Amino acid sequence: MIRNYFTLAIRNLQKRKLYSFINIFGLAIGVAVCLVILKYVDFELSYDTFHPNAANVYRTTTMSYRAGEFRGNSIISGYAQGPAMLADVPEVKRYIRTHPMYGGAVVIYKRDNGDPSTFHEENMQFADSTFLDVFTYTALEGDLNTALDNPASVVITKKMADKYFKPGEDPLGKILKISGGWADGDYEVTAVLKEVPGNSHFQFDFLFPTHNLLRNEQYTHDNGWGWNNFVTYVELHDHTDPKKVEAKLPAFVDKYRGKDLAESNSKNVLKLQPILDIHLSPGLDYESSATVSVNTIYFFVVIAIFVLAIAWVNYINLSTARAMERAREVGIKKSVGAHRSQLIGQFIFESVLVNFISVVLATLLAVGLLPVLGDIVGKDLTFDFGDYRFWVVLTTLFLIGSFVSGIYPAFILSSFKITEVLKGKVEKMTGGFSLRKALVVFQFASSLILIAGTFAIYRQMIFMKNQDKGLTMDQMLIVNGPSVLDRKSAKMRLMSLKDQIKEVPGVTGVATSAAIPGGGYNWGTGMRRSGTEQQESKDGKVVWVDPDFVSTYGITILAGRSFNPSIASDMRSVLVNEAALTTFGLGTAEHALEERLLLGGDTVQILGVLKNYHWNSLKTEHSPWLLKADTISGHNYSIHINSNNMQTTIAKIESLYKEAFPGNPFDYYFLDDFFNSQYKSEQQFGKIFSMFSMLAIVIACLGLWGLASFTTAQKLKEIGIRKVLGASVGSIMSLLSWQFFKLVLIASVIAIPLTWYGIDAWLAGFAFRIGMQWDMFVVPVVILALLSLGTISLQIFRGANINPAKILRTE
C-alpha cells in the first residue's frame, strides 16, 4: 500500500510540475525562515548561559529617586559596594567589580627590532582578580587562576594576540605599553583567551586588574561611594534565595548611604539582576552592551509563524483548488471499492512527501540564509547539526506541516460522492471552498501587516536621520586626540595643531571638546538654581568644549553669547539649553542670564542660552545640557570640511597630526555616521523585518499565482461563452480580477486596525517620531493590490485570450 501511495504521489507531482514546484518551494521558504528565526531567537536567549554557575551570579542595579520622583535605573556603583556586601551579607560568596576604560587607550608593543605596533583600542575593561574565578572563559595560553593577581598584568584575546604579535611569537611575558587611558603603564601579558563568545553581555579585548585603577586621584580621595563608575557583580552561595538577599539591601543602603541620601532628599533601591536576564533587559542607564527587548524576540517568533502559515495556506488552497481536477480520480477509485480511509491515507501521504522534500530543501536554504541574517545583526550565527534540538525542531515542523497542510485537503477530496462527481457538482457541494477564500484573506492580511510595518520602520529611520539636530553634522570630521604626548607641552601643541588645521584648504571650522554628539558626556551631576534648597536638585549633563565649539557646530544662541577666551569670567561660566530653563526654573532665556547654577560644589554664571539640540538620539527627550568652557581639549577635534576633494583634505590633516603627535595613530570618522550608529538596533530590526516580510510576500504571491491559474482554468467555458456573446478581453479580466481584489479589500479592513495598533506601540519607544498619517496605510494597500493584480493578471490574460472555439468544441 505504501509503495502504491508513493507511486501515485510521484505521478501527481510530475503531472503538475508547476504547482508541485509552488507547493514545495513555498513550504521550503516557510520552513527555512522559521529555522533561521528560531536560531536567532535561540542565540538571543542563550546569553551568558555558557558560564557554569550563571544561575548564582547577579549584577547590582540601583533605582534612584529624588523628592519622590523616579530618576533612573542604573547599573553603576561605587567601588566600596562590593566589599561591603561581602562583609555584611552572609549569602554573598564573592564580589566582582568591573570598570570600562572610558575613551580607550593607545596600546604600544615595542619589538627588539622593527617598528612598534601602535593602535588605539576601545574594548578594554578593568576587573577584580575574582573575575576569572566567577566567569568562565577558555584560556589558550596562561593560567587563569593567577592571570590578574599581578597589578601589572593584562589578559588579551586571541584576536589581539594576532594583531600585535607575529605568527609563532609567544605573547606570554611580553610587555604592552598603555598610554592615554585610566591606568597608564607597562603591562605583562599573562594569558590569552579564546574570543569572548558572541552571546556574552560582557565584551572585552583587554582585561586589566583594578589595582592600578584605584590609585587614580579621584578614587584615592573618595570614600568608595561617591564616584559611581564601577559595575558590581556578586556570586551567591548555592541554594540561596535572591529575594531574601534583596530584603536585606534597604538596611544595607541605609547603613552606608542613608545620611547622604537624606540630605539630598533622595532614595536608592538596590536590586539584584540575574546575569541571565541582562541581555533581555533594555533601558538601564550606562548599559555598555547591546540589549534586546523580549517583545522583539516574541515579535520575530510571530513573523516565523506568519511565514510558515502562509506557506501551509498555499498548499491547502492549491490542493482544494484542484478538487475538480481530482474529483474524477476520487470517483473512479470509490466506484471500484476504495474506502475513504484509503483515500485519506493517499492524500496525507502526498502531503508527507511534499513536506519531506520541502524540509530537505529548507535546510539547504536556511544554511545559506543564516549568514545573511548574521551579517545584519553583526553576529556569527551557525547551525549546530550535532545539537539534538535542531533535529527536534526540524522533525516537529515536518510532522506539523504534513498534518496541517494535508489533513483538510485529504478530508475534502475523499468526501466526494460518486453521483455528485459525475454530475459536476463538486464546487456546489463544497460551498465554493469558502475556507479557501478565508485563507487567502489571511494571506493578504498578513502580507499587508508586514508591508505596512516595513514602511513605518523605514519612515521612522529616515525621519530620525533627516531631522534637524540643532547642530551641524554633515561633513563634520572627528579626529581622536592624541594619547601619547608630553603633558608639559600638551596644551601648546594641541592649540598649535588646531591653528594649523584651520589653514588647510577646505576646512571651514575647527573645535575641540571632551565629548561629541552621540558620544555621551563628561560629567553627570545634580544641579539646581542658586537660592533653592538642595532637595530641588535635578540631574544634568556637562560637556567641556573650547570657545569655537558653538560656532563650528552652528548651534543657535537664543540669548547671551558664547565663550570669549579673552574674558576670564566667560571661561568660568556655562551655556545651557532650553530644556534647562524649565527643569531648573530659570524663566525666559533673557532672564536666565541673570541666574546662577549650583553644580556639585561650584556656583557658575549662565553666559548664554542655546536652542535645544539633539546631543543624543531622537529616542530620548531633550534634557538639561550644559557646555562648560575649556581653552583646548585633547579628546576630540571636530573639523568641518567644505571641500570637493575630501581625501586630499583628510590626508593633509593626517600629515599635520602625525607631525604634531608622532607615535599616535590617526583615527578619524564622520560625525553623521557615528551619530546614526545609535540607531543600530532599529536599523537591524528594520532589515530583518523587511527581509522576512519580502520572503513572506514571495510565498503568498507564488500561491496566488497558482490559485489564479486554477481559477482561470475552471472558468474557461464561462470565458468562452462570454466571448461568443461579445465580451471583450478587458471586461473578462476585470470580472475575474475582481474576485481576488475584493479579498484584498476584506483583508485591508481586518489588517489596518491591527497594523495601526502595532505601529503606534512601536513608535511609543521614540521621543521624537513620525505621526500616524493616512498614507502609511493606504500605500501598503495599493502596493498589495498591485502585487496581487500583477501576479494574477498574466494567468487571467492568457485565459481571456483563448480561442472560444477550442474551449467549447467539446460541448
Are residue 227 and residue 318 in the same domain, yes or no?
no
Strand partners, 73: 63
Mark whether 417 and 443 lie in a shared domain. Answer: no
Same domain membership, residue 599 and residue 518: yes
The angle formed by the CA atoms of residues 614, 618 and 623, to the nearest 5 degrees, is: 55
Angle of helix 242-263 versus helix 81-88 axis, rounded to 10: 130
Q: How many CB atoms lie within 10 A of CB 241?
A: 10
pLDDT value of position 331: 63
pLDDT for the residue numbered 408: 66
Domain boundary pick from 662, 690, 722:
662
| pLDDT for residue 6 | 65
User: CA 233, CA 90: separation in Å to the nearest integer?
Assistant: 15
Is residue 625 located within the same domain as residue 573? yes
Structural domains in the chain (count): 4
Element (DSSP H or E) covering residue 431? none
How does DSSP classify residue 285?
A: B
CA angle 764, 766, 772 (to 5 degrees): 55
Residues 6+ apart with CB under 8 A from 764: none
Q: What is the pLDDT of residue 202?
A: 93
The CA distance from 755 to 759, in Å, is 6
Distance, in Å, from the CA atom of 244 to the CA atom of 768, rounded to the nearest integer, reads 41
- Grid coordinates in use for 718? 464561462
Provide the pLDDT for residue 548.
94
Report if residue 671 sits inside a domain.
no
Dist CA 653 CA 636 (whole Å): 14
Q: What are phi and psi of 600, to 5 degrees?
A: 60, -115
461/490 same-domain check = no
Task: Point out the domain boundary residue: 408, 428, 448.
Answer: 428
Instruction: Tell whether 462 and 368 lie within a shared domain.
Output: no
Series of mean pLDDT values for 10-residue runs along the chain (811 residues): 64 69 84 90 92 94 85 90 94 95 88 80 93 93 92 94 90 91 90 93 94 83 84 94 94 91 86 94 82 83 85 75 59 62 71 85 91 84 86 88 74 60 51 64 83 86 87 92 78 92 92 91 85 81 93 94 91 93 91 88 90 89 92 91 87 92 88 87 82 82 71 65 68 72 84 88 84 84 80 67 62 51
pTM exceeding 0.95: no
One domain, residues 685 and 806: yes
82 within 8 A of 93, measured Cβ to Cβ: no
The reply to whether 400 and 521 lie within a common domain is: no
In a domain, 480, yes or no: no
Q: Which three cell numbers stand for residue 676?
A: 546614526
**Three-class DSSP category at 367:** helix
| Residue-level pLDDT at 431 | 44
> In the prediction, which pLDDT does 11 show?
66
Full domain range(s) for residue 621: 485-662
Work out whether the CA dihedral 540, 543, 545, 550 comes out positive or negative: negative
Q: Which residues pair with 670 in a beta bridge?
A: 477
